[in-house]
Amino acid sequence: MHLDSDVTWRRRSLTTRALPWGLQAVHARKFKSKRPRSNSDSFQEEDLRQGFQWRKSLPFGAASSYLNLEKLGEGSYATVYKGISRINGQLVALKVISMNAEEGVPFTAIREASLLKGLKHANIVLLHDIIHTKETLTFVFEYVHTDLAQYMSQHPGGLHPHNVRLFMFQLLRGLAYIHHQHVLHRDLKPQNLLISHLGELKLADFGLARAKSIPSQTYSSEVVTLWYRPPDALLGATEYSSELDIWGAGCIFIEMFQGQPLFPGVSNILEQLEKIWEVLGVPTEDTWPGVSKLPNYNPEWFPLPKPQSLQNVFNRLGRAPEAEDLASQMLKGFPRDRVSAQEALVHNYFSVLPAQLHQLPDVASPKAGKNILSFHQTQVYQSEEEAWGLQDELKNKRIDDTLESISQDIHAHHYGSMER
């Protein structure tokens, strides 16, 4: 996320009331940036002269170290604010979780923090800090410009094929990493994929994520937003692995081309399954061994349409060679038939990308190297800007750790990066 070059800040408070958890409102003076800022940029000396005073002596883990700018959104158990670190001036996202006096810290929050502290990858949102008070638990994340859902809403009719390819490569890269770390995301949807102004995609919201463990029968089938939930989970299966995330990624893949969700059910599992069967066909014991034994299987589904070609149903897949083949490998009804994230990364669909992208270290962004950056700026983002006019719109394991130890681990890993 960045501050647009034409934005003018006026002398005023950006919040209307004090927050109970101690974050301070910032009063900013007018300034003009010479260039669009990166999501990780800190405020420069020009800003310091005009009223911003950052203090490197301030501690991590303290509410006083961050300034609240504005409320970004609110979920079922957390509110997210845009903020600034008083330590180094970096923009941050503050995810504030109110704690119930009787129940204490929500288990999902502990799980998210425990998993994120061990995940270090350019395509996974970075957790900088944790602030723990009696009333709230605050996660301090890197601030990223927008999410894929908002990005797609700005471009009705589907994204340019070049950008679909780049976003999909980064999504699979992030998934391959977490699956290698034995972590399942379990809630893939466009709202949980953050997009920076540089086109970096980052997996976010690990509240439903969990470490893969044995026995897997302890898993719940009530995971993943309905539209992105695979048929095995809809049928009540509680034995699943990384194939759960692959289905969701496949749905998002085609949605980026089409500009609308693949299987937009209402709120009924049966309706959601029927939308899937209309495309894939009803599974049988021959095509999906054991399907008839799943709790929600209904033998009265017969007869329904036979499987169809994805390109016949989703015609915009034809915009990119090999896209249909990759999507069909990700959207297999029988979970074990689905391609893995690592296998998908070497699919022919990605053969037009430079070889360097496949050799990047985990912590390196596809925008990191100068040669790679040049390739993507000229052949991906400029081509979409020319086609769709995007430049202006891009502006517009188990839980064993205590919160204290998680926080200490995060500070040890990230203190250096926050100082830069």
**What residues are annotated to the active site?**
187
Q: Up-side HSE of residue 178: CA atoms within 13 Å toward CB? A: 32
User: CA triplet 240, 195, 324: central angle to 5 degrees?
Assistant: 55
CA–CA dist 407, 217 (Å, integer)? 31
The answer to whether 223 touches 237, Cβ cutoff 8 Å, is no
* Helical axes 403-419 vs 107-116, angle rounded to 10°: 40
Burial of 71 (0-12, 13-18, 19+ CB in 10 A): middle
The answer to whether 368 touches 196, Cβ cutoff 8 Å, is no
| Of 151, 191, 194, the residue nearest 174 (C-alpha) | 194
DSSP symbol at 36? P
Tokens encoding 323: 């896209």
Q: How far is CA 36 from CA 2, 4, 47, 207, 295, in A?
A: 7, 5, 14, 32, 53
Residue 304: CB atoms within 10 A of its CB come to: 11
**Residues contacting 268, CB < 8 A, separation 6+:** none
DSSP 38-56: PTTPPP-HHHHHTT----T
| Of 26, 193, 68, 60, the residue nearest 125 (C-alpha) | 193
Residue 306: CB atoms within 10 A of its CB come to: 8
| Of 107, 119, 109, 267, the residue nearest 184 (C-alpha) | 119
Q: Is 202 annotated as a binding-site member? A: no
- Residues making up the annotated binding site are 95
**Binding site per annotation, positions for ATP:** 95
